[in-house]
Amino acid sequence: MTAGGYDLEEIRQRADIIEIISPHVTLRKAGRRMVGLCPFHQEKTPSFTVDPESGLWHCFGCKAGGDVFRFVEMIEKVTFREAVELLARKYGVAPLRKSDAAASARRERMIALHADAARYFQHCLGVPAAERVRAYLAKRGMSEETVKEWGLGYAPPTWDALLKAMRRRGHTVQDVVRAGLAVARDDGAYDRFRDRLIFPIWDATGRVIAFGGRSLPPEKGAEEQHPKYLNSPETPLFQKGRVLYGLHRARRAMADKGRAVVVEGYVDVIACHEAGLTETVGTLGTALTPEHVQALRRRVSSLALCFDSDSAGLAAALRSRELFQRAEMEIRVVTLPEGLDPDAVLRERGAEALRGLVEGALPITEWELRRILGDARPGEDLRPEVLRQAVKALARLASDVEREYYVRWLAQHAGGSSPSAVSALENALRAEVSRLATRKPAARGRTQEGEQTLGRSAPAASERLEWSVLAAFLHRPELAERYLEALRPEDLSTEAHRQILDAIAGLVEKGQPVSPETVAGKLPPEARSALAGLTMTDVPPERVEEQVEQGIRRMAERRLRREEQALRKRLGEAKTAEERRETLERLDECRRQRSELAKARIVGDM
């Protein structure tokens, strides 16, 4: 099985799961396994278990689990592909195909070039010619430590300073142009960034993939450089609509706090981190895109939008309300003082003031309604056009509960002091919102494809039954060989369980050994959490075969009951005598099979 051009099995064999987990969990020996306190939820009694032989881990508290890839995904807050690339780099695994290897080599050269460029820009910030830049940073309240932590630098004003520096480090002019750090022209090339304060832009794993350059306030009598902010162009490494500035530094705090604070600029991100809001990320001159929302939704369920009060970003957020609703995210809006951005609040009023504004963020619907109502006090008569705007805002809400709550909220704020007037307005608002509301059932309750939650709720009785049978198959492969034919994929209620059953059946059919290790090699990443739990489940030696047989019988009976229910429904909808006859015959057959299950052994009967 491959991902991102890498052989997952090769990475899995090279990766030492204890080496990967140990920096995050203090493990102690417990039989052939290792146990410790789970890093993904608070606990006092160790329930986090690692099986070094199978390379799997499982927490019996929060039910998280999987292989080494899943652990890196969760602990580093990265995607599966990013986890694969991190482990491939760590253990020196090269891509499989030549085309992948060539693309990977080009990518690594470009990453190395960006790392060299970042070091060069940082060096230039310390030269005498950069005194004006250092003075500007000090005026903005940035300490030397902050400047160093965020890798800030300076691009000299000459046309080819970076090009010359990169050539000295072994990079070609074509490489620098391809990376977007230089612009080609007929007689050669010139540096894209000149006389600018430089902000490195990182990917989620902390590698520099682009740069942003801010022009400096002009000296007296000089013209201001345009544009004020300049980003690297899009390259194979960098797509502006997918990248969030500071994500590599914020992802741990985001996971701890369950939210992300979103701002619009480099300096605002740094200011928020300085104020202790280390869960802050920034867009790069764009509104929040579907790709941004997807990246954030994998990590948090709540966003606090901390944009300027007159920002186009707030207007875009309102237009993107449906995007947030589909992702099932809670969106709050921070109300900043007029004319101030987060950095200005920090410098003028202090870190505590900035934190207080973020903590006091309003739900986006309430924020929008308050903006529509303006300075009107509760109970004042509102102009009809104001109420119409408010009703349109409520009609866009997907949640019936949220819509009803804000209908009442709006009626209280606009209905006057008379209870009868409030009640009458509430009924009128409710009717008008209902008339305007456009329902989109397909978009409601849907999560991003392939998305996984951190843990799982307690499994239903049906899942526990399947769990015990599959665990027995893993730990007692001879039982899998005996009973596999009696078990059908439709007997299992989850896709992960069906994938595990299919992997076991494939191994048995080919005469290969059944074990957690061999099964893991045939599973997609999303099924390995369930496999890890099965691997850690102890299967008592006594009466295990009897329990497997009883479990399969109950699962088959459950399937037959489901089929009977569907057949009875079909019988009531039958339009022809032939369709009715065939449905009755199948219904009788289901009842006969269920009756036989109650009195017969499984093996050999099905």
Give the CATH class of 98-231. alpha beta
Per-residue pLDDT reduced to its tens digit, 270-323: 999 999 999 999 998 777 888 888 788 877 889 999 987 666 667 767 776 777
**Which CATH number does the domain 2-91 belong to among 3.20.20.30, 3.30.70.1280, 3.40.50.620, 3.90.580.10?**
3.90.580.10
**Which CATH number does the domain 247-360 belong to among 1.10.3720.10, 3.40.1360.10, 3.40.50.2300, 3.40.50.300?**
3.40.1360.10
Q: Residue 535: CB partners within 8 Å, gap ≥ 6?
A: 51, 54, 56, 58, 474, 516
Residue 206, Cα to own-chain centre: how many angstroms?
16
Task: Provide the pLDDT for residue 190.
Answer: 95
Residue 330, strand partner residues: 302
Q: Three-state secondary structure along 188-213?
A: EEEECCCCEEEEEEECCCCCEEEEEE
Q: What is the DSSP letter of 282?
A: E
**ω before 459 within 30° of 0 (cis)?**
no
Q: What share of the chain is helix, strand, coil (3-state, %, to 5)?
A: 55, 10, 35
Low-confidence ranges of the chain (pLDDT < 50): 439-459, 601-606
Per-residue pLDDT reduced to its tens digit, 90-140: 888 877 766 666 777 788 899 999 999 999 999 999 999 999 999 999 988
Whether 516 and 54 have beta carbons less than 8 Å apart is answered as yes
Whether 162 and 155 have beta carbons less than 8 Å apart is answered as yes
Rounded CA separation 81/84 (Å) = 5
**Contacts by residues 376-382 (CB-CB < 8 Å, ≥ 24 positions apart):** 376/413, 376/414, 378/412, 378/413, 379/413, 379/414, 379/415, 379/416, 379/417, 380/414, 381/414, 381/416, 382/414
Task: Provide the pLDDT for residue 458.
Answer: 37
Q: What topology is assigned to 461-597 in CATH?
A: DNAb Helicase; Chain A (1.10.860)
How far apart are the two ends of the chain, measured CA to CA in Å?
33
Structural domain boundaries of the chain? 2-91, 98-231, 247-360, 369-439, 461-597
Whether 533 and 500 have beta carbons less than 8 Å apart is answered as no
Question: Exposed/middle/buried for 527, CB within 10 Å: 0-12, 13-18, 19+?
Answer: buried
